Amino acid sequence: MTRTGIVYHPIYLQHETDGHPEKKERLVAILDMIKSEALKVEYITPEPVTRDQIAAIHGERYIDQVRAISEHGGGYLDIDTILSRGSYDASLMAAGGAIAAVDATMNGFDHAFALVRPPGHHAMPNRGMGFCIFNNVAIAAKHALGRGLERVLIVDWDVHHGNGTNAIFYSERSVLYFSVHQYPHYPGTGKATDVGEDGAEGTKVNVPLPTGTGDEGYLMAFREILRPIALEYKPQAIIISAGQDPHKDDPLGGMRVTAAGFGAMAGAVKEVADICCQGKLAAVLEGGYNLQAQAEAIVSEIRAFQGTVPEVRGIDLKVAQRIEEIKKIQRAYWKCFQ
């Protein structure tokens, strides 16, 4: 029987961000919809990361800065990123939640979804930004490599480019980072020519999509770029940076993805996982700021992980042109495009 884990801890609600788009109600809405839809899931309680696990990604001085600001009642890491008294502990548990999702897939679960906050994919080694404090997915990927794996695939479908994750692993072949994101858009990174460096060229696959891209365009990128590269790379673990802000109703994005589109993307990643890693994959919550839209998208994703995948067909001519450009760029690194 398929086992789906949901990683959650109530401490995530103690990251207080009054009046901010990244608010605790996001998690409440998701949990309520999972319950109302009677999805067959098992809840997993995470443990906080250790300092050593954070320090594998983030600098000691930055870790101390986050802790000090939080312990003194809160403040701002940057103009967009707020800390409250409970944020440091919530951040430790958010990264721990991402690790718990990865460990679950290595210890009996078929897939796991870490419903964590604060999110993480913008967090740089020595800087928090874009609502993110510690880079949860990067910490989890490093943990997976520490368990003896040699190749980890990170799929990031948040509307914003995961500049932190991309930068952290930019010179590491052990992590294949694939990002589909609105461009131009915050944070302004993620050009198709950003492919990695120092022997890791080709393991960073950035797919900047034009504003207004919907289900068809996203699925084209997954089928024509992600799938062939991933099957050639043969990842031993897959982690999704699951941001639901490409949804057509999200206030912070300009894309047109529907709940069915998110399910289809999840199904496309699951198909790669079936071929490469016994169907096992872990997802970690990133963005998504329309409460209803985000919850509906996540339910669609979980159902896709469990085998019910919506069908998306059609061609987006603008995206088709972008895909050909990316294939030309990546051709030097992948036989599938030669």
Write out the two tokens for 57.
């990604």
Share of the chain above pLDDT 90, in %: 100
Is residue 177 over pLDDT 90?
yes
102: helix, strand or coil? helix
pLDDT at 3: 98
Annotate 119-136 with DSSP letters as a single string.
--TT-BTTB-BTTBSS-H
pLDDT tens for each residue of 210-260 = 999 999 999 999 999 999 999 999 999 999 999 999 999 999 999 999 999
pTM, full prediction = 0.98
Annotate 281-330 with DSSP letters as a single string.
EEEEE-----HHHHHHHHHHHHHHHTT---------HHHHHHHHHHHHHH
Is residue 93 over pLDDT 90?
yes
What span, in angstroms and rounded, lies between the C-alpha atoms of 184 and 194?
A: 14
Is residue 332 over pLDDT 90?
yes
pLDDT tens for each residue of 149-172 = 999 999 999 999 999 999 999 999
Residues 4-337: name the CATH superfamily.
Answer: Histone deacetylase domain (3.40.800.20)
122 catalytic? Reply is yes
Share of the chain above pLDDT 70, in %: 100
Domain boundaries, the chain: 4-337
Q: Which of 122, 160, 161, 247 is catalytic?
A: 122
pLDDT at 1: 81
pLDDT tens for each residue of 99-152 = 999 999 999 999 999 999 999 999 999 999 999 999 999 999 999 999 999 999
The pLDDT-based confidence of 58 (bands split at 50, 70, 90) is very high
pLDDT tens for each residue of 179-207 = 999 999 999 999 999 999 999 999 999 99
